[in-house]
Amino acid sequence: MKLFIDTADIAQIREAWSWGIIDGVTTNPTHIANSGKDFDSVLEEIFSIVDGPISVESVSTNAEGIIEEGRRIAAFHKNAVVKVPVMIEGLKAVKVLAKEGIKTNVTLCFSPLQAFLAAKCGATYISPFIHRLDLVGHDGGELIRQMRQIYDNYGFQTQILAASIRSPKQVLDSLLAGADVATMPFDMLRALYQHPLTEDGLQMFLDDWKRVPPSRLFTSKAGA
């Protein structure tokens, strides 16, 4: 499963990219607005850091507008992916963009039937919103499992991009359910590394090392 970071914060993207685990980025109008920078400059910085798929959201609500915006987004950079909401006008646009070889990420998916329709229209990615489903008493992990079965049953190539992730358990659920990608905020990515037993074990080893006689292998203070 690939990992994307869900943000437009350049410092966070740069830091997460340095960890070696990030495969791409998802953005949305809220992230761009929160960056406090103009749209084009934010995108230019993101594309200069991450060599992978970068989802950029369209803002029109009719097919013609989405298609026009999608073409401009795709022309901006070879790694650009056009985010489109799962609605009739959105999927009409996805059908056209897919025929032109433009990659799309169909977003705001909350049902397996929506995912089925997006795949029929040639979506590159489909983004089920896991946490938002969990908040209203549904099972986001079960949605991914249903989508996986439908896509496998009929040979759809659309990749399942688990979104709206707010806990390590939701990441694990996405992995076990067969998601192709999971996107999450910076703090959530960092939380995947953390476990209290790891921290306790590391501290024990460091404390014990202080009792070991000096070694020629470890003469540098680097990493202390």
Q: What is the pLDDT of residues 27-43, one digit of tens each?
A: 998 999 998 889 999 99
- Chain mean position to CA 47: 15
Q: Is residue 216 part of a domain?
A: no
Q: Is residue 222 part of a domain?
A: no
Q: Is residue 45 part of a domain?
A: yes
Q: List the CATH number of the domain containing 25.
A: 3.20.20.70
Q: Is residue 211 part of a domain?
A: no
Given 2, 78, 83, 99, which residue is catalytic? 83
**What angle is formed at CA 160 by the lines to CA 156 and CA 163, rounded to 5 degrees?**
160
- With cut-offs at 50, 70 and 90, classify the pLDDT of residue 174: very high
Residue 216 is given by DSSP the state: T
83 is an active site residue: yes
Q: Is residue 221 part of a domain?
A: no
> Over 102-161, what HEC string results?
CCEEEEEECCHHHHHHHHHCCCCEEEEEHHHHHHCCCCHHHHHHHHHHHHHHHCCCCEEE
**Overall number of domains in the chain:** 1
pTM: 0.90
Q: Is residue 158 part of a domain?
A: yes
> Mean of the pLDDT values across residues 106-122?
98
Q: Is residue 85 part of a domain?
A: yes
| Structural domain of 70 | 2-194
Q: Is residue 209 part of a domain?
A: no
Strand ranges for 35-193 from DSSP E: 54-57, 80-85, 104-109, 125-128, 159-162, 181-184
